[in-house]
């Protein structure tokens, strides 16, 4: 074990704004970080379990906070106290996973382990770099890949039925396609519709979307970029096969412990991508609009109370309320309105 990776990070690759703030405001985050890193050390299964637990905890707390906001007083002090609760939930559940771990020294450590072990498998530097990039890319399909894969499969499915095929041909000739996509969407939603009974379970999610913008994107991709997307999906399948072949090679050529270490490092990187892109990334759709609105509300009341103007660059939801305290203490209360 490398003891340094168990220490709360001093730097994070893509997120330094609240690193020291959270350490100071929520000191329990340090123990929580160290506990998670130790428990998940070369243990992808345990990492995935913790991500799901943290995700569930975040959602539970966030929903409670949304209810609290409905009935609370909306004066400046109450809003700031509420905002700190938002930060605490975010820090200990969301940010801790997505940034402190997934973009911090732990992720770098597993990446370097992949490089170290690959040196034992490949003598040529070019080959090592190629295999390293393949494993760091992983075969995890981000949401964009899900969109294009669904667009191909859905297009091929719909093309089997004359009524849908005609609509697809019509869509190719029109600039605005939303009316046609609405017709297809409505037909697929009908329980009595025969094609729906054959509708693949992997595509059912498109019918459960709150708004149809993603469905429109999928159908636009199906019409406009079908050939290009076929190539992308083919590359994804090739990557899967290459990774499987590489991990099998490691099992044959390396000591069992090193082969397992390579596989676990790869899986941890893959699950980190999944956690950031899917498990926590999708929360931003609900979290960011609310938090942005809350931040604007706090800034507006602060400016009104202290007769100041907060510069836009200090208005990030991550900066508030910490910046406001400094702003008051520095007595910069004559900033021109």
DSSP per position, 203-222: GGGGGG-SSTHHHHHHHHHH
> Residue 274: which H helix or E strand, with range?
helix 256-274
pLDDT of the residue at 26:
95
* Structure tokens belonging to residue 105: 């020294």
| pLDDT one digit per residue (tens) for the chain, 337 residues | 667 788 999 888 766 678 999 999 999 999 999 999 999 999 999 999 999 999 999 999 999 999 999 999 999 999 999 999 999 999 999 999 999 999 999 999 999 999 999 999 999 999 999 999 999 999 999 888 989 999 999 899 889 888 889 999 999 988 889 999 999 888 887 755 555 666 666 677 787 776 788 899 999 999 999 999 999 999 999 999 999 999 999 999 999 999 999 999 999 999 999 999 999 998 998 999 999 999 999 999 998 888 888 888 778 888 888 888 766 654 444 433 3
Contacting residues for 265 by C-beta, under 8 A, at least 6 apart: 42, 110, 111, 113, 114, 117, 135
Burial of 245 (0-12, 13-18, 19+ CB in 10 A): exposed
pLDDT of the residue at 60:
97
Q: What is the maximal distance between C-alpha atoms in the chain?
A: 72
pTM: 0.86
Q: Where are the domains of the chain?
A: 3-108+281-329, 143-229
Please count the CA atoms within 13 angstroms of the CA of 150 that sit on its side-chain side. 23
């Amino acid at each position: 074990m490398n003891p340094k990776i168990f220490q709360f990070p001093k730097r994070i690759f893509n997120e330094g704004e609240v690193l020291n703030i959270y350490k100071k405001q929520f000191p329990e985050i340090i123990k929580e970080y160290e506990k998670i890193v130790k428990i998940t050390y070369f243990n992808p299964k345990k990492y995935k379990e913790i991500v799901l637990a943290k995700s569930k905890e975040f959602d539970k707390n966030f929903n409670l906070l949304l209810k609290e906001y409905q009935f609370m007083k909306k004066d400046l002090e109450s809003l700031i106290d509420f905002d700190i609760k938002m930060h605490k939930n975010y820090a200990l559940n969301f940010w801790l996973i997505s940034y402190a771990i997934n973009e911090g020294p732990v992720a770098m450590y597993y990446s370097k382990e992949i490089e170290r072990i690959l040196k034992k498998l490949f003598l040529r530097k070019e080959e090592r770099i190629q295999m390293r990039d393949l494993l760091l890319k992983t075969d995890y399909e981000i949401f964009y890949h899900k969109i294009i894969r669904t667009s191909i499969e859905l297009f091929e499915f719909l093309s089997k039925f004359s009524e849908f095929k005609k609509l697809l041909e019509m869509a190719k000739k029109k600039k605005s396609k939303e009316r046609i996509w609405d017709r297809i969407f409505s037909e697929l939603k009908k329980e009595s519709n025969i094609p729906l009974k054959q509708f693949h379970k992997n595509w059912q999610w498109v019918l459960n979307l709150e708004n149809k913008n993603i469905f429109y994107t999928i159908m636009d991709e199906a019409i406009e970029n079908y050939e290009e997307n076929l190539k992308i999906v083919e590359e994804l399948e090739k990557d899967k096969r290459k990774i499987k072949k590489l991990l099998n090679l490691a099992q044959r050529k390396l000591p069992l412990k090193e082969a397992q270490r390579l596989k676990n490092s790869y899986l941890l990187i893959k699950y980190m991508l999944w956690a950031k892109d899917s498990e926590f990334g999708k929360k931003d759709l609900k979290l960011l609009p609310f938090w942005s609105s809350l931040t604007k509300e706090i800034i507006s009341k602060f400016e009104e109370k202290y007769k100041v103007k907060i510069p836009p660059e200090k208005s990030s939801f991550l900066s508030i309320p910490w910046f406001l305290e400094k702003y008051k203490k520095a007595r910069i209360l004559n900033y021109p309105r």
